[in-house]
Amino acid sequence: MRGNIYLVGFMGSGKSTVGRRLAQALHRRFVDMDLRLEERFGLPIPEVFRGLGEGAFREAEADLLVALSRRDRLVVATGGGVVERAENRALMRRSGRVVHLDACLETCVGRLSAEARAGRPVWTDEESARSLLGRRKELYGDCDLGVSVDRRGPEEVTQEIVAGLMPDRSLTTMLDAQPCPISCTWNAPEAVQRLLRERKALLLADTRVAKPHLAWFLEALGNPPAFIVPQGERSKSLHMAQRLYRFLLQHRMERGDFLVALGGGVVTDLGAFVAATYKRGMAHILVSTTLLGCVDAAIGGKAALNLSGDKNVIGAFTKPSGVVLDMTALATLPGSRLREGIVEAYKTGLMASPQLVEHVSRGLAALLEGDLPALHELVGLCAEAKARLVSEDFREGGVRRILNFGHTFGHALEGQRRFRLTHGQAVGSGMIVAARISRNRGLLSSGQAEQITATIRRLVSPPAPCPDVEEIWTRMQNDKKVSGGRIVFALLRGVGDPVIAEDVSKEEMAAAMGALRED
Ligand SMILES: NC(=O)c1ccc[n+]([C@@H]2O[C@H](COP(=O)([O-])OP(=O)(O)OC[C@H]3O[C@@H](n4cnc5c(N)ncnc54)[C@H](O)[C@@H]3O)[C@@H](O)[C@H]2O)c1
């Protein structure tokens, strides 16, 4: 969702309080127009009205609105009278989304103290305020979303605005003919509750996710038992799986009961693997709290554990009863983790969704700043593309292989650097190499390959020094995706037009690795 969010409504409807919360929830900047205008005049607004007249105030207000409309991704609490001018209303509609906080006069009076009312220049007495509100009602109605605020707290109002501007998305992916619902939502506990159908649940989370997010789930699900693992890749181990099996037994979990895995790819991989093997398979729900999980790890029914240092050696195809992509949780994710997810989403876009590539290319700054509306759009588009590919090819024998764009090389690089670089860095490097091979084969134009490389470089930097060709090649030959001894590369003929190649030679790859050294 591009543009600003403007909150309009009568004095006392809660624009400043809700605006501040909304901005915080969406990772956007907040502007209170009345405060800005007081700063500009160096006077409280009533004095501006008294000294300079309402006309001067409205002129300054309109000028400020023009200035704000040229910026992007703000949450703006407007003054109660901003809607009086038709050009202000038109400008707000053009440059963003307008939300009306709809309050009856009693609510406004109740919220404004006598002192505050005395400070409002257009408040003379209750009757005149009632007639002003009546007159403005229609003007406030010129909006994208109306939210009633009577008898409701700011938290509830904020949640309704978020859900109204960015509705939850539901889609389905087919896992071997079994439908798996995917919900991209701002209220993940509620989505889980719906999937549980009153069966018993047991929660799995890691320490870092548990701290800010577990309480909401525990409360919504009636305090089920929770198994908390240390954060990080080491929890994807047989040892941890064993402890989780014991915990499930201890709590007498049956096959029809649910294991709810709440976290990033580590927790959803561990949870899905254990659920798929406990008593030959128990019901499970994956709730993804990282961007990488939302665009990749949680979707597609693959689960894996590491064997000592060897990544994802033990694994299974699994069929969760549902996947919940938790948009609210993304607000606490650090920036470095966002980059990892954007790299994966960009890869999926290059292979299967021009719309997704366009979203990443145009909205990269917003995505990198953690703008929740931009991330919501990214997750929705990517989940749709991935769900489609998985439905066509659950067991990765055909079209799903295109999602390995950048991964053949990336996994080898990760192994070579003994995981001292991030997955995104490794995959990004692999994507740069694959784009160069595609260009050298005449599949992509130089301009297309350069554009892809430039976008990846804005997200991650390839490691220095350049990796050793021989070692990378040997590692690629040991990859689990090698088929009949042939290394499989996903290449690209254009956005959304992938090519699978099994004939890339070591020399060809070495030449393409030159792209990693160019800045
Ligand atoms: N199964 C698949 O198809 C698949 C696909 C891709 C990746 N993976 C696996 O996923 C794992 C990587 O996933 P990941 O990047 O999500 O790693 P992760 O699960 O380790 O999460 C990364 C870090 O972010 C923290 N975190 C999670 N949610 C948070 C939140 N909302 N706020 C703050 N911190 C939060 C975690 O505690 C952890 O420290 C790897 O093990 C990889 O092999 C699996």
Name the closest-CA residue to atom 21, ligand 1.
Answer: 264
Report whether residue 300 contacts ligand 1, using a CB cutoff of 6 Å.
Answer: yes
pLDDT at 169: 97
The Cα–Cα gap between 518 and 14 comes to 53
The pLDDT-based confidence of 115 (bands split at 50, 70, 90) is: low
- Of 261, 259, 44, 9, the closest CA to residue 136 belongs to 9
Residue 88 confidence (pLDDT): 98
| Burial of residue 310 (number of CB atoms within 10 Å: 0-12, 13-18, 19+) | exposed
| pLDDT at position 119 | 67
How do residues 405-439 score in pLDDT, each as one tens digit?
Answer: 999 999 899 888 876 888 899 999 999 999 999 99
- Average of pLDDT values for 120-137? 83
> What value does the mean pLDDT take over residues 23-39?
97
Q: What's residue 116's pLDDT?
A: 67
In angstroms, what is the span from residue 265 Cα to ligand 1's centroid?
4
Section 462-466 average pLDDT:
83
Split at pLDDT 50, 70, 90, the class of 230 is very high
C-alpha span between 321 and 371 (Å, rounded)? 30
Higher per-residue confidence, 397 vs 216: 216
The predicted-structure confidence for 294-322, as pLDDT tens digits, reads as follows: 999 999 999 999 988 678 889 999 999 99
pLDDT at site 125? 78
Check residue 502 and report its DSSP letter.
S
State if residue 144 touches ligand 1 by the CB under 6 angstroms criterion. no
The CA distance from 234 to 57, in Å, is 61
The pLDDT value recorded for residue 118 is 65
Mutational test site, ligand 1, from 290, 407, 422, max ligand atoms within 8 Å of CB: 290
Mean pLDDT of the chain: 94
What SS3 state is found at 451?
helix
The percentage of the chain sitting over the pLDDT mark of 90, rounded to a whole number, equals: 85
288 lines ligand 1 (CB under 6 A): no
Q: Which atom of ligand 1 is nearest to the CA of 266?
A: 19
| Residue 103: predicted pLDDT | 95
| The ligand 1 atom nearest the CA atom of 340 | 15
Judge if the beta carbon of residue 97 lies within 6 A of ligand 1: no
Q: Could you read off the pLDDT of 257-290 as tens digits, one per residue?
A: 999 999 999 999 999 999 999 999 999 999 999 9
Q: How close is the Cα of 25 to the center of ligand 1, in Å?
A: 21
Say yes or no: CB of residue 266 within 6 Å of ligand 1: yes
Question: What is the reported pLDDT for 110?
Answer: 83
Spatial separation of the C-alpha atoms in residues 282 and 265, rounded to whole Å: 19
Q: What pLDDT score was predicted for residue 9?
A: 97
> Which residues have C-beta within 8 Å of that of residue 464, sequence separation ≥ 6?
none
Q: 98 CA distance to ligand 1 centroid (A)?
A: 35
Ligand 1: which of 237, 267, 269, 319 to mutate, most ligand atoms within 8 Å of CB? Answer: 269
In this prediction, residue 482 has a pLDDT band, given cuts at 50, 70 and 90, of: confident
Mutate to test the pocket of ligand 1, among 182, 208, 336 (most ligand atoms within 8 A of CB): 208
How confident is the model over 47-64, as pLDDT tens digits?
999 999 999 999 999 999
Q: What is the predicted pLDDT for the residue at 431?
A: 97
Output the six-digit token pair for 136: 């403005």
Top mutation candidate among 337, 372, 407 for ligand 1, by most atoms within 8 Å of CB: 337
Task: Give the CA radius of gyration of the chain.
Answer: 27
Q: If you measure from the C-alpha of residue 335 to the centroid of ligand 1, how many angstroms do you get, rounded to a whole number? A: 13
Q: Which DSSP string do the residues of 411-424 spell out, in sequence order?
A: HHHHHHTTT-S-HH
d(CA 366, CA 338): 11
User: Mean pLDDT throughout 94-105?
Assistant: 96
**What is the band of 117 on the pLDDT scale with cuts at 50, 70, 90?**
low
Main-chain phi, psi angles of 127, to 5 degrees = -65, -45
Report the pLDDT value the prediction gives residue 114, as an integer from 0 to 100: 66
- Position 251 scores a pLDDT of 98
pLDDT of residue 1: 72
Q: Is the CB of 326 under 6 A from ligand 1?
A: no
